[in-house]
């Protein structure tokens, strides 16, 4: 019997990286999946975003576990499209229990290099996108009679990591949304928590190569990024295991938590 058997999870940014890992981990413990991803590049983001082929790979991996998955292209900035994707998934899979607001982008630059477009795209995706996800999903969770929402924040949602101002602002904002919604939705037995990864080995992290030269330009700033445990980066499945715990009934009374999966980066 899987730890989330019989449950249905909605995951944004599910085509690759942490989102795909969450889909596979939850499916391996018995959940069916509703997956969305934009599958399209941003002009403002220096690395390539996921593709339709990536999303198809997630579908294949979940189906190989004998679980059902409803996947579609949707942009978390487009509230209407997101609602349509969730409604369609719930219509096909019957219910909604778990929400992973995972989709996010990241750009690296000094404060004076943050263009209005970079600022807006990051806030729209990483903060408003989380809000849009909640608005689309909460009615279904209320109908289920409870549920678990897991918002992907970051160490950058706790610390003022340099050269990441828009990202840090959005990830801090996610904590505010989660805290408020944890209170507002508690009466419906809906739990809301955030996870705060340190650097994770994903295509997004590989796209942040510009960070190292900036850090090296000021030796005082390097230690801010360091972990405490003797590991440089964690793997996507480490975040997925935390998501699995928060999504499962083992965490039935855990809400309002900022769950750092950060190898100690925030306690140094």
167 among known catalytic residues: yes
Site membership for other proteins, residue 260 (CB under 8 A): yes
Cβ of residue 177: shortest distance to other proteins, in angstroms?
Answer: 13
Q: Is 263 in the site for other proteins (CB under 8 A)?
A: yes
Quick note: the x/- pattern for other proteins over 186-225, rule CB under 8 A, is xx-x-x------x---------------------------
Nearest to residue 9, comparing CAs of 132, 101, 143? 101
- Rounded Cα distance, 68 and 45, in Å: 32
Closer CB to other proteins, residue 119 or residue 245? 245
| Residue 244 binding other proteins, by CB under 8 A | yes
The answer to whether 9 touches 32, Cβ cutoff 8 Å, is yes
The two structure tokens encoding residue 71: 């996947």
# binding residues, other proteins (CB under 8 A)? 35
Nearest to 74 by CA among 133, 120, 152: 133
Contact between 133 and other proteins (CB under 8 A)? Answer: no
- Report the alpha-carbon distance of residue 213 to residue 111 in Å, rounded: 15
Q: Is 234 in the site for other proteins (CB under 8 A)?
A: yes
Unique residue bearing structure tokens 């964690």: 234
Stretch that binds other proteins, among 38-46, 102-110, 162-170, 175-183 (CB under 8 A): 175-183
**How many helices (H) and strands (E) in the chain?**
9, 7
Question: Quick one: tokens of 95?
Answer: 């219910």
Q: Output the CA angle 102-106-110, nearest 5 degrees.
A: 150
252 binds other proteins (CB under 8 A): yes
Which residue's CB is nearer to other proteins, number 46 or number 256?
A: 256
182 lies in the binding site for other proteins (CB under 8 A): yes
Q: Output phi, psi for 225, to 5 deg.
A: -90, -5
From 42, 47, 163, 167, active-site residue: 167
Secondary structure letter of residue 127 according to DSSP: I
CA distance 260 to 239: 9
Under the binding rule (CB under 8 A), the answer on residue 183 touching other proteins is yes
Query: Which residues contact other proteins (rule: CB under 8 A)?
Result: 179, 182-183, 186-187, 189, 191, 198, 228-231, 234, 238, 241-242, 244-245, 250-257, 259-264, 266-268
Q: Which residues are designated catalytic?
A: 167
């Amino acid at each position: 019997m899987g730890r989330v058997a019989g449950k249905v999870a909605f995951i944004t940014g599910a085509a690759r990286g942490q989102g795909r890992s969450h889909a596979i981990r939850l499916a391996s413990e018995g959940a069916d999946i509703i997956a969305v991803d934009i599958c399209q590049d941003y002009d403002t983001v220096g690395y390539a975003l996921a593709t339709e082929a990536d999303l198809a790979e997630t579908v294949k991996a979940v189906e190989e576990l004998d679980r059902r998955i409803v996947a579609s292209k949707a942009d978390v900035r487009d509230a209407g499209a997101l609602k349509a994707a969730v409604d369609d998934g719930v219509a096909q899979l019957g219910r909604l229990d778990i929400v992973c607001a995972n989709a996010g982008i990241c750009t690296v630059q000094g404060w004076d290099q943050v263009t209005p477009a970079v600022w807006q795209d990051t806030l729209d995706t990483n903060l408003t996108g989380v809000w849009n996800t909640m608005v689309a999903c909460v009615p279904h969770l209320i109908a289920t009679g409870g549920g678990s929402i897991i918002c992907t924040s970051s160490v950058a949602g706790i610390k003022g990591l340099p050269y990441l101002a828009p990202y840090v602002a959005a990830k801090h904002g996610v904590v505010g949304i989660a805290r408020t919604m944890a209170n507002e939705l508690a009466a419906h037995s809906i739990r809301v928590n955030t996870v705060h990864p340190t650097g994770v080995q994903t295509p997004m992290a590989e796209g942040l190569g510009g960070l190292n030269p900036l850090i090296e330009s000021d030796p005082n700033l390097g230690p801010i990024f360091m972990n405490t445990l003797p590991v440089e980066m964690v793997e996507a499945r480490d975040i997925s295991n935390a998501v699995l715990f928060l999504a499962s009934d083992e965490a039935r009374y855990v809400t309002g938590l900022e769950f750092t999966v950060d190898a100690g980066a925030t306690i140094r």
